[in-house]
Chain A
């Protein structure tokens, strides 16, 4: 799984919208779309303990990304269904397009760990994975071992990659960008927050996901490198304090990477990029028709209100 990458990609998507969508796609929808896959599945991956009894999945990676399991939550198919429901309910183009973009970003980023995602679900229940780093969520290790493995492997490089993408588009974090491109598509939501928060709070709220991603990346990395006691999380081929860094493919070496039945890893990136390209083309083509439909919907709603 990916960690801070999922926070950074929200801003990266926002910064790299097609020209005609700039300032017209909901930031909160991108955030929500990116958040949904793990929100629906992750609570049971690590599980929780009450009065000494552990509640959670017996095979975390199967539950998280597999079939049977909640793996469908990390598929474009499920993302598209939820997106269609949102569209048929609200007829809001800014939110609908933002949601599927956020959802796709999450699902496609997750092909990088050793478990991957079912990119072609329901046509194919095999996972697509590039096996770049080890998926490490286990019953015994929980979130701590997962973090230690991620931030001791190329997972950290993935977080840094997305951080650099955002930093190259640093204007996306400025007050000017927030005022001109983020607020207009979500005017009602910002107005609602504005009932309690001053402008500096609203701007902080917009930047908060980036802030959280950056801080958790540094905090978990520092802990894994300098302070963690590996013996607490299992038996590893590690002698020093802190988990060793290993930037080899499917690393770190000191942990068995979890895996599910999958296609050839060489297919993962081409398949993901093809799907991303297809999504891009579909959204570009649907942009104007969706805008017309939204305008019609608003017009009919307005006349209904007048009639009432």
Chain B
């Protein structure tokens, strides 16, 4: 694994809530993670494949994922104003 953080958030200003924005490779990473996990789970658990769970799945991973990796330090320092 590269020693460089996958986050590029240091140069990107925080959003209206003080949360950091996802850009570049990190954004692709979270979207791909959401897609691959949803597709694989969906093959064996069809009840997941509906118009409610699908969008919630993506939003949850994109919102909660970076928050967790920030907390445990994988994606570098946390944005000070994040709520």
Contacts and interface: CB of A to CB of B under 8 A. Distances in A.
A219 interface: yes
A212 interface: yes
A7 to B, nearest CB: 8
Interface residues of A, number: 26
Contacts of B31: 204, 207, 211
Interface stretch (A62-70, A83-91, A193-201, A285-293): A193-201
A227 B51 CA distance: 23
A62 to B, nearest CB: 24
B21 interface: yes
A189 to B, nearest CB: 14
A271 interface: no
Nearest to B23: A175
Tell me which of B19, B40, B58 has the highest count of chain A C-beta atoms within 10 A of its own C-beta: B58
B63 A220 contact: no
Given A199-B21, A219-B39, A204 B58 contact: yes
A215 B42 CA distance: 8
B70 to A, nearest CB: 12
A199 B46 CA distance: 30
B43 A227 contact: yes
Contacts of B21: 199-200
Contacts of B72: none
A223 interface: yes
A216 B19 contact: no
A218 interface: yes
Contacts of B39: 215, 218-219, 222
Interface in B28-53: 31, 34-35, 38-40, 42-44, 46, 49, 51
A200 B54 contact: no
Tell me which of A143, A203, A204 has the highest count of chain B C-beta atoms within 10 A of its own C-beta: A204
A81 interface: no
A35 B51 contact: yes
B12 to A, nearest CB: 11
A197 B42 CA distance: 25
A205 interface: yes
Contacts of B55: 205, 208-209, 211-212
A200 B19 CA distance: 8
A144 interface: yes
Given A197-B63, A198-B17, A212 B43 contact: no
B52 to A, nearest CB: 9
Contacts of B19: 198-200
Interface in B48-75: 49, 51, 54-56, 58-59, 62-63, 66
A119 to B, nearest CB: 25
A214 interface: yes
30 contacts: A194-B17, A197-B63, A198-B19, A199-B17, A200-B15, A200-B19, A200-B22, A200-B63, A200-B66, A201-B59, A204-B62, A205-B55, A207-B31, A207-B58, A208-B54, A208-B56, A209-B55, A211-B31, A211-B34, A212-B51, A212-B58, A214-B35, A215-B35, A215-B39, A215-B42, A218-B39, A219-B43, A219-B49, A222-B39, A222-B43
Interface of B: 15-17, 19-22, 27, 31, 34-35, 38-40, 42-44, 46, 49, 51, 54-56, 58-59, 62-63, 66, 82
Interface of A: 35, 143-144, 194, 197-201, 203-205, 207-209, 211-212, 214-216, 218-220, 222-223, 227
